[in-house]
């Protein structure tokens, strides 16, 4: 069975984890410190990196440190993994969904501008599937309205925007290292930021609110949670980070092969191939089930018969029961809803070979030809 994704792990990763296990220090320690330094070098710019036990924790810590809470509205795309909206609820604030572009799956500044109210405190652009959101107009808008911009780059480690790595500009940007992502620490996430005052608060939120003085004394002045990354994960991350650009080049090469082989067909909508610096976390197509004559479950089953597992990323978030309680309903965000209904994620991971892409393309083409 060809999965839609699989982490690429080798002897070097196994050895790195073994070394930590044998060292006797498993929780946050020297490997975390080394990983934070290596990530900062990789991202570039004048930023500091802090790692977490998940991307969700990193995002949550930023909103909490910023004091986002009840009465505040936070703008977020209706098309993302549900963590992007759940973190807003976690803070007691209200998610304000906006629609995305059908092809890029990303929000733009016009959509954000239309959703701003006097209660808006923050906007969370999501770099969907590793494709950079056009950030400059969003930052301009945020400056005019005094909004926090928190970039959800969970899917975008290694992505570049206008020639610079996402995360290198200084505003808070969060990454995920879940096993599905372009590099993994098992579970894990990171924050890039260059605001020392906010960073101090975030460090407290990450670990029990503990502050240490030069003598090793300890004080707690505010609440903190338990969001730290263990050294086992950081050791894995150090090895994966060295390989990340190679992984992303391989993803790009596989995607080019998809583009070469998948046909122009009125039941098929391909992602755009025009974004520079795209790290191709996923290759998501849209299929019009009415035109193909098979619904999504039947299509998934037909692919499974050919030992191909496709994914679904994602159902539109505003239609989940939780978010309907905020008054959202079908018809609110047509692009997100169409993506939610028609999306299929084709296999894409660095361990794939060209012949795997060819096999997937043949299967998709035969589905289209039978329609
Ligand atoms: C867009 C987006 N945001 C946030 C997250 C949360 O990251 P994590 O799973 O590391 O908590 C994910 C993970 O899938 C994601 O895809």
pLDDT digit string, tens, across residues 18-57: 999 999 999 999 999 999 999 999 999 999 999 999 999 9
What does the pLDDT average to over 188-209? 97
Residue 189 CA, closest ligand 1 atom number? 10
Residue 176 CA, closest ligand 1 atom number? 10
Structure tokens at 204: 């407290």
Read off the pLDDT of residues 121-144 as tens digits, 9 standing for 90 and up.
999 999 999 999 999 999 999 999
The finding on whether 7 has its CB within 6 A of some atom of ligand 1 is: no
Bridge partners of 308, per DSSP, are: 2
Read off the pLDDT of residues 112-123 as tens digits, 9 standing for 90 and up.
999 999 999 999
Are the C-beta atoms of residues 65 and 201 closer than 8 Å to each other? yes
Are the C-beta atoms of residues 228 and 52 closer than 8 Å to each other? yes
The finding on whether 106 has its CB within 6 A of some atom of ligand 1 is: no
The finding on whether 77 has its CB within 6 A of some atom of ligand 1 is: no
- What sign does the dihedral 35-37-39-42 (CA atoms) show? negative
Widest distance between CA atoms in the chain: 73
Residue 177 CA, closest ligand 1 atom number? 10
Query: Strand 94-98 to strand 120-123: parallel, antiparallel, or no bridges (unpaired)?
Result: unpaired
CATH class of 244-369: alpha beta
Read off the pLDDT of residues 59-113 as tens digits, 9 standing for 90 and up.
999 999 999 999 999 999 999 999 999 999 999 999 999 999 999 999 999 999 9
Q: Where are the domains of the chain?
A: 11-239, 244-369
- Whether omega before 187 lies within 30 degrees of 0, making that bond cis, reads no
**Does the pLDDT of residue 371 top 90, yes or no?**
no
Q: State in Å: Cα 359 to ligand 1 middle.
A: 29
What is the pLDDT confidence band of residue 276, given thresholds at 50, 70 and 90? confident
Query: Strand 189-193 to strand 173-176: parallel, antiparallel, or no bridges (unpaired)?
Result: antiparallel
Distances in Å between the Cα of 307 and the Cα atoms of 226, 260, 313, 343 are 41, 22, 20, 19
What does the pLDDT average to over 210-228? 96
What does the pLDDT average to over 219-247? 98
Check residue 273 and give its pLDDT. Answer: 84
Distance CA 17, CA 358 (A): 35
Tell me what the pLDDT averaged over the chain comes to.
97
Distance CA 340, CA 333 (A): 11
The finding on whether 335 has its CB within 6 A of some atom of ligand 1 is: no
The finding on whether 52 has its CB within 6 A of some atom of ligand 1 is: no
Same fold, 11-239 and 244-369: no
What is the pLDDT confidence band of residue 370, given thresholds at 50, 70 and 90? confident
**Does the pLDDT of residue 242 top 80, yes or no?**
yes
Distance CA 241, CA 309 (A): 27
- The percent of residues in the chain predicted with pLDDT above 70, rounded, is 100
Residue 56 CA, closest ligand 1 atom number? 11
CB within 8 Å of 18: residues ≥ 6 apart: none
What is the pLDDT confidence band of residue 274, given thresholds at 50, 70 and 90? confident
Distance CA 336, CA 80 (A): 9
Structure tokens at 100: 């995305």
What does the pLDDT average to over 7-15? 98
**Does the pLDDT of residue 232 top 80, yes or no?**
yes
CB within 8 Å of 238: residues ≥ 6 apart: 16, 31, 34, 35, 38
The residue among 292, 312, 314 whose CA lies nearest residue 364 is 292
Check residue 87 and give its pLDDT. Answer: 98
Q: State in Å: Cα 178 to ligand 1 middle.
A: 7
Catalytically active residues are 181
Q: State in Å: Cα 41 to ligand 1 middle.
A: 23
Strand ranges (DSSP E) for the chain? 48-52, 73-77, 94-98, 120-123, 148-149, 151-152, 160-161, 164-165, 173-176, 189-193, 210-212, 218-220, 268-269, 283-287, 343-346
**Does the pLDDT of residue 171 top 80, yes or no?**
yes
DSSP secondary structure of 223-242: ---B-PPPHHHHHHHHHHHH
Q: Which fold has domain 11-239?
A: 3.40.640
């Amino acid at each position: 069975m060809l999965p839609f994704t699989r982490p690429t792990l080798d002897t070097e990763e196994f050895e790195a984890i073994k070394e930590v296990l044998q060292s006797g220090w498993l929780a946050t320690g020297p490997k975390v410190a080394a990983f934070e330094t290596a990530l900062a070098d990789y991202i570039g710019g004048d930023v500091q990196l802090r790692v977490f036990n998940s991307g969700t924790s990193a995002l949550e810590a930023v909103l909490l440190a910023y004091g986002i809470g009840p009465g505040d509205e936070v703008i977020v795309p209706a098309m993302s993994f549900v963590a992007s909206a759940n973190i807003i609820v976690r803070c007691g604030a209200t998610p304000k969904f906006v629609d995305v572009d059908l092809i890029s799956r990303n929000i733009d500044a016009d959509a954000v501008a239309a959703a701003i109210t006097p209660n808006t405190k923050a906007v969370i652009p999501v770099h969907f599937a590793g494709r950079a959101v056009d950030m400059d107009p969003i930052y301009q808008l945020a400056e005019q309205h005094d909004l926090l911009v928190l970039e959800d780059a969970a899917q975008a480690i290694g992505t570049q925007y206008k020639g610079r790595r996402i995360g290198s500009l200084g505003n808070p940007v969060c990454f995920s290292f879940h096993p599905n992502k372009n590099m993994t620490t098992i579970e894990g996430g990171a924050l890039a930021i260059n605001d020392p005052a906010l960073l101090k608060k975030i460090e407290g939120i990450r670990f029990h609110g503990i502050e240490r003085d030069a003598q090793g004394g300890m004080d707690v002045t505010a609440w903190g949670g338990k969001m730290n990354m263990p050294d086992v994960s950081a050791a894995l991350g150090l090895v994966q980070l060295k390989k990340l650009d190679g992984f992303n080049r391989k993803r790009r090469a596989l995607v080019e092969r998809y583009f070469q082989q998948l046909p122009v067909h009125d039941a098929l909508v391909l992602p755009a191939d025009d974004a520079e610096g795209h790290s191709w976390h996923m290759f998501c197509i849209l299929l019009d089930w009415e035109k193909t004559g098979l619904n999504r479950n039947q299509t998934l089953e037909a692919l499974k018969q050919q030992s191909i597992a496709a994914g679904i990323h994602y159902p539109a978030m505003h239609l989940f029961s939780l978010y309907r309680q905020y008054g959202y309903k079908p018809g609110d965000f047509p692009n997100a809803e169409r993506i939610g209904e028609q999306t299929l994620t084709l296999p894409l991971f660095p361990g794939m070979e060209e012949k795997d892409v060819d096999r997937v393309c043949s299967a998709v083409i035969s589905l289209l030809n039978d329609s």
